[in-house]
């Protein structure tokens, strides 16, 4: 149980285009989803927290107009990187937490999405 | 500001050795501490979660300890195997929501 998927796993796009990444909780209802970014050989940095049906809360330094987050249902959150540039190239990982996902407010992580902007 | 540091940054050992990975955090006001494994280009696999009131957790060949007062946690891996090769991340959980990750330890176990 407590499986989180991401789609796509890998995307290459041209500079200036927008890219949407989906995060789904497959076997539980995710009341809260989190989006992280990971640079090569670096640790994960929290970008934003989203609760179902409300606006995302962004971490300091993260541009909310650049990284649009939507959490429209209890099983789906999306991250849209708008007008992507090469510096947006990174590994994006989502996690999800729900009432039945596990004790201790545990977050369950997706497999990640590798974004490369040319 | 909470900062999480892991030592060593990289470790290469022969198969069969017992290992200790270290994690330290600057603010002892944490809810839980969690250890993860990450294979290259992949997501995270949760290994062990220790509640702030607990001292340790065990799963198979893995044992994690927590000393909140000193801001330290260790992950002990017994009888290491090549399949244990990965990056190990510790993360402290603050405010019931946020996970603050450490810098990671890249482990290589060679046959």
pLDDT tens-digit series, residues A20-57? 999 999 988 888 999 999 988 788 999 999 988 888 99
pLDDT over 70 for what percent of chain A? 93
pLDDT at A96: 92
A85 vs A63, B41, B44, CA distance in Å? 14, 21, 26
pLDDT at A27: 86
Give the pairing of strands A32-38 and A90-97: antiparallel
Q: Do A93 and B31 touch (CB under 8 A)?
A: no
Q: Do A45 and B93 touch (CB under 8 A)?
A: no
Nearest by CB to B44, from A93, A104, A114: name it: A93
Cβ-based burial of B91 (10 A; exposed 0-12, middle 13-18, buried ≥19): buried
Q: Do A112 and B43 touch (CB under 8 A)?
A: yes
Question: Model confidence at A66, in pLDDT bands (50, 70, 90)?
Answer: very high
User: Distance from A27 to chain B by nearest Cα, in Å?
Assistant: 17
Q: Do B42 and A111 touch (CB under 8 A)?
A: yes
pLDDT at B110: 96
User: Distance from B42 to chain A by nearest Cα, in Å?
Assistant: 6
pLDDT at B98: 84
pLDDT at B83 > cutoff 70: yes
A92 near B CB under 8 A: no
pLDDT tens-digit series, residues B41-80? 888 999 999 988 899 999 999 999 999 999 999 999 999 9
Residue of A8, A34, A43 to mutate, interface with B, max B Cβ within 10 Å = A43
What integer is the mean pLDDT of B24-53? 91
Judge whether B89 and B102 are in contact, CB under 8 Å.
yes
């Amino acid at each position: 149980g407590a499986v989180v998927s991401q789609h796509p796993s890998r995307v290459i796009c041209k500079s200036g285009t927008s890219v949407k990444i989906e995060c789904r909780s497959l076997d539980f209802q995710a009341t809260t989803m989190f989006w992280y970014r990971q640079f090569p050989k670096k640790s994960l940095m929290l970008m934003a927290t989203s609760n179902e049906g409300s606006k995302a809360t962004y971490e300091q330094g993260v541009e909310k107009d650049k990284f649009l987050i939507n959490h429209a249902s209890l099983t789906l959150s999306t991250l849209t990187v708008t007008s992507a540039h090469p510096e947006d190239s990174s590994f994006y990982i989502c996690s999800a937490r729900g009432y039945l996902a596990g004790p201790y407010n545990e977050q369950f992580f997706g497999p990640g999405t590798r974004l490369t902007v040319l | 500001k909470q900062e999480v540091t892991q030592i060593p940054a990289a470790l290469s050992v022969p198969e069969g050795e017992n290992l200790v990975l270290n994690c330290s955090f600057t603010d002892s006001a944490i809810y839980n501490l969690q250890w993860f494994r990450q294979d290259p280009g992949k997501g995270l696999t949760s290994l062990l979660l220790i509640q702030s009131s607990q001292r340790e957790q065990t799963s198979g060949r893995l044992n994690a300890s927590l000393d909140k007062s000193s801001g330290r946690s260790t992950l002990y891996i017994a009888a290491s195997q090549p399949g244990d090769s990965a990056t190990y991340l510790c993360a402290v959980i603050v405010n019931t929501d946020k996970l603050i990750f450490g810098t990671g330890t890249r482990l290589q176990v060679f046959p």
